């Protein structure tokens, strides 16, 4: 049997009413979504909610755009307000203890935004702060941030969320605590001081969760008058200063440190960074974090620990503790000056080169300790050491470069280098009685041994050995070896020995075997 489906008949009146209601709904919706551009005229009063104060007449709503300029009566909120966009080009806008939410672009080019007990909430495409005094608390999570010369008198949270985080001219002053964050993982660099530095008069936190850097000061001079806190969890990292002249200065008694979120990825670059005062600075980076200190100055103690640490062209007036603990090779170009003790440790599997192109100068103790891979010193030029050298293990390598270790102190110095030294020079100052270097353990020289001023004090348990490739120059009454010395090889050789203030050399003819070894204290001394 055939089954027949039938459609119920809808009465004409009911169908017509439904169509009418749907059409009316669409019309109302269209009008409600249409944005009106309101300009403040202040013709009636300061009340935001008075229609006569606006052109066209009305009160801006959540979908409307607002422009404010200086008028006889400047606007004042009487309740919390939400609008689509805001432009303040002159005059004073008082939030009066309420919150203002802007869901589109917010542009401040002059004037003042008042209300210290108020909150400015920005959730739009761009927030541009240029030449305006901002007194409310700012909570900004926007696509693009631009800081172009404003003053912020209350706390602020600023987060850029897109691939174009913003290029800021700089020239701002932050008088209360501020957090600046980049959260997007795209390719755009976030510049905070592209043409001029900023002044931070309260604690500032920089957070980067993106794949490109936050550049703090590209040009000009930024001042940090309170503490600086850093966090980075993606490859972007945080850069202070620039090769074009940006300088950052940390005030005396203040600290730069890593925040609770850690610095587990990306590179921290402290370039042209000036730390004033004796406060200890501690930077601990983890996972794949890299710490670079370039052309900077630290007056206080610096403790830097990271998977990779690179230091170049910097001056340290406080004690330095550097620990590299990762699997990356780190190459220092060198050119650093350490005015107090330097403790450099490599506990990772990567190589640490300390002076690849330019030697460093150490005015106090140089302590080197490596446990899994090499620390390389004396790669190039003359490394001047005015204090002791304490190389803890044979992983400390002074053999592979073309450079020379030069002892320059004006008081007695100690030398410990269990892996030996390639090129060694003694050129000490001070009184004659203080010009000597005492070996702490056995040491082998494989390149050149050069005497200018100063003696090397040895013993049977702190023996100086010259390998078959070693040569000696400059030995005299002002420079010689005071104690036993060993020579390996099959060439004639003059031992640079002496006693007291007299140079008393010992000469041997060529031994027969290339591995023959002679020690000076088994020979008969004669004055040459």
User: Tens digit of pLDDT for each residue in 76-105?
Assistant: 999 999 999 999 999 999 999 999 999 999
* Pick from 167, 171, 119, 168: nearest CA to 150: 171
Q: What is the pLDDT of residue 187?
A: 85
pLDDT bracket for residue 490 (50, 70, 90): confident
Closest by CA position to 364, among listed 393, 389, 383: 389
- Grade residue 508 by pLDDT with cuts at 50, 70 and 90: confident
More confident residue, 160 or 15: 160
Q: How many domains would you assign to the chain? A: 1
Give per-residue pLDDT as tens, 249-260. Answer: 999 999 999 999
Q: Which range marks the domain in which residue 110 is found?
A: 37-120
pLDDT at residue 520 in the model? 63
pLDDT given at position 27: 38
Q: How confident is the model at residue 14 (pLDDT cuts 50, 70, 90)?
A: very low
Domain-embedded: residue 7: no
| Residue 289 domain flag | no
pLDDT at res. 517: 67
Residue 85 lies in a domain: yes
Quick one: average pLDDT of 107-120?
Answer: 97
For residue 467, pLDDT over 70 is answered with yes
Only one residue has tokens 């409310």, namely: 136
Whole-number mean pLDDT of the chain? 91
Give percent of the chain above pLDDT 70: 91
pLDDT value of position 514: 65
Look at residue 425 in the predicted model and tell me its pLDDT: 98
- Would you state the structure tokens that stand for residue 360, as one six-digit string? 């460093």
- Residue linked to tokens 């959730």: 123
Q: Using the predicted structure, report yes or no on whether residue 19 has a pLDDT greater than 90.
A: no
Record the tokens describing residue 223, joined without a space: 């001042």
Query: Rg (Cα) of the chain, in Å, rounded?
Result: 36
Burial class (CB in 10 A: 0-12, 13-18, 19+), 233: middle
Is 225 contained in some domain? no
Q: Is the pLDDT of residue 4 over 60?
A: no
Q: Two tokens at 347?
A: 């506990």
The predicted pLDDT at position 28 comes to 37
Task: Give the pLDDT of residue 161.
Answer: 95
pLDDT, mean of residues 34-61: 97
Rounded mean pLDDT, 145-161 = 98
Q: From the centroid of its chain, how far is CA 19? A: 66
Please report whether residue 15 resides in a domain: no
In a domain, 168, yes or no: no
One-character DSSP codes across 297-342? EESS-EEEEESEEEEES-EESS-EEEEE-SSS-EE--B--EESS-E
| Residue 525 clears pLDDT 60, i.e. is over it | no
Average pLDDT over residues 35-53: 97
The pLDDT of residue 491 is: 84
Q: What is the mean pLDDT of residues 26-48?
A: 77
What pLDDT does 509 receive? 81
Q: What angle do CA 80, 48, 52 make, to 5 degrees?
A: 150
* 20 pLDDT more than 70: no
Per-residue pLDDT at 513: 65
86 is a domain residue: yes
* Within a domain: 128: no
| The predicted structure's pLDDT at residue 186 | 79
Q: What is the arithmetic mean of pLDDT over 341-345?
A: 98
- Rounded to an integer, what distance in angstroms lies between the CA atom of residue 513 and that of residue 417? 27
Average pLDDT over residues 301-330: 97
Alpha-carbon distance of 436 to 426, in angstroms, equals: 9
Work out the average pLDDT over 361-367. 98
Residue 511 has pLDDT above 80, yes or no: no
d(CA 281, CA 293): 13
């Amino acid at each position: 049997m055939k089954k027949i489906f039938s459609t119920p008949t809808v009465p004409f009146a009911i169908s017509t009413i439904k169509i009418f209601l749907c059409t009316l709904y669409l019309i109302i919706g269209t009008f409600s979504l249409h944005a009106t551009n309101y300009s403040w005229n202040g013709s009636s009063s300061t009340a935001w909610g008075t229609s006569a104060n606006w052109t066209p007449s009305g009160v801006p709503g959540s979908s409307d755009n607002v422009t404010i300029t200086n008028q006889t009566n400047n606007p004042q909120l009487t309740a919390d307000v939400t609008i689509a966009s805001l432009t303040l080009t002159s005059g004073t806008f008082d939030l009066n203890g309420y919150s203002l939410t802007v869901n589109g672009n917010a542009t401040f080019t002059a004037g003042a935004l008042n209300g210290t007990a108020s909150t400015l909430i920005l959730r739009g495409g761009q927030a541009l702060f240029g030449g305006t005094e901002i007194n409310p608390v700012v909570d900004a999570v926007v696509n693009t941030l631009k800081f172009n010369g404003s003053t912020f008198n209350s706390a602020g949270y600023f987060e850029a969320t897109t691939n174009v985080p913003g290029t800021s001219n700089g020239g701002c002053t932050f008088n209360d605590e501020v957090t600046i964050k980049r959260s997007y993982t795209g390719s755009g660099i976030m510049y905070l001081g592209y043409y001029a530095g900023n002044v931070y008069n309260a604690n500032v936190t920089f957070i980067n969760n993106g794949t490109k850097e936050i550049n703090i000061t590209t040009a000009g001079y930024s001042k940090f008058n309170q503490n600086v806190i850093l966090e980075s969890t993606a490859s972007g990292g945080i850069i202070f200063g620039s090769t074009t002249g940006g300088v950052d200065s940390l005030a005396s008694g203040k600290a730069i440190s890593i925040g609770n979120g850690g610095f587990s990825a990306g590179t921290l670059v402290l370039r042209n960074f000036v730390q004033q005062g004796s406060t200890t600075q501690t930077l601990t980076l983890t996972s794949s974090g890299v710490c670079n200190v370039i052309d900077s100055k630290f007056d206080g103690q610096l403790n830097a620990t990271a998977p990779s640490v690179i230091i170049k062209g910097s001056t340290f007036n406080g004690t330095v503790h550097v620990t590299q603990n990762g699997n990356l090779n780190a190459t220092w170009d060198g050119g650093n000056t350490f005015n107090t003790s330097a403790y450099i440790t490599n506990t990772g599997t990567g190589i640490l080169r300390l002076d690849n192109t330019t030697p460093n100068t150490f005015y106090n103790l140089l302590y080197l300790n490596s446990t899994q891979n090499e620390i390389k010193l004396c790669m190039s030029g003359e490394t001047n050491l005015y204090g002791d050298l304490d190389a803890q293990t044979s992983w400390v390598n002074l053999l592979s470069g073309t450079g020379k270790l030069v002892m320059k102190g004006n008081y007695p110095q100690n030398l410990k280098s269990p892996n030996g030294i390639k090129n060694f020079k003694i050129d000490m100052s001070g009184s004659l009685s203080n010009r000597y270097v005492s070996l702490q353990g056995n040491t082998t020289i494989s390149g050149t041994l050069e005497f200018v001023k100063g003696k090397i004090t040895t013993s049977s348990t702190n023996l100086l050995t010259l390998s078959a490739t070693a040569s000696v120059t400059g030995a005299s009454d002002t420079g010689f070896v005071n104690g036993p010395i060993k020579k390996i090889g099959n060439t004639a050789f003059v031992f640079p020995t002496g006693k007291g203030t007299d140079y008393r050399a010992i000469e041997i003819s060529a031994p027969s075997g290339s591995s023959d070894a002679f020690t000076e204290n088994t020979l008969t001394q004669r004055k040459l």
